[in-house]
Amino acid sequence: MSLTLETPAPQRATDVPLRGIRPNIVQSIRAFRVQELQDAAQSLGQHFLYANLANAQTKQDVLDLIGQQFMLAVHVGKNFDALYDSMTDPLHKSGPQPGFIVVLEHIPANTKFDKEAREQLLDIFRDAADYWSDRKIPFRCFYSFL
């Protein structure tokens, strides 16, 4: 009786999820579909955080929806600083993290959530990407506007 060991085929570049996307970035969702990003997170063993903000009109609505859909602590709905805090230090202190793929879909673009508010929101996620980059943990955030 002989034992044959099969060598797995090498991964092709097309098999690697998110190839060519920096490990710590905030960018428009453009060429990706949400399901593709969720599948990539699963295949990479990373956390997938998704928030659909289509029903949000104000900063408070945006914070509430992100807090609910990311299942974050209640205090996240208070302000952008609390959101940043929830996305960084407590997660880091809870143990080793495999990485994050975050999707913010349909960020409102209206007078109650203007360009400045949108930039502040994205800055929170840019700062979180920098935080995790310093710890050598991937944090990719993809977003779209309504």
pTM (2 d.p.): 0.85
Cα–Cα dist 132/8, whole Å: 32
Instruction: Share the mean pLDDT of the chain.
Output: 87
Cα–Cα dist 78/60, whole Å: 8
Q: What is the pLDDT of residue 20?
A: 85
Contact between residue 107 and residue 53 where contact means Cβ atoms under 8 Å apart: yes
113 is written with which tokens? 């959530």
Q: What is the pLDDT of residue 76?
A: 65
Q: What is the pLDDT of residue 78?
A: 77
Place of tokens 């880091």: 92
Instruction: Read off the pLDDT of residues 46-82 as tens digits, 9 standing for 90 and up.
Output: 999 999 999 999 999 999 999 999 988 766 667 999 9
Cα–Cα dist 125/44, whole Å: 20
Percent of the chain with pLDDT over 90: 71
Q: Considering only CA atoms, give the Rg of the chain.
A: 18
Instruction: Read off the pLDDT of residues 17-29 as tens digits, 9 standing for 90 and up.
Output: 788 899 999 999 9
* Superfamily of domain 23-145, CATH level 4: Barstar-like (3.30.370.10)
Better-predicted residue by pLDDT, 8 or 90: 90
Cα–Cα dist 29/101, whole Å: 11
From the CB of residue 91, how many other CB atoms can be counted at a distance below 10 Å? 18
pLDDT over threshold 60, residue 93: yes
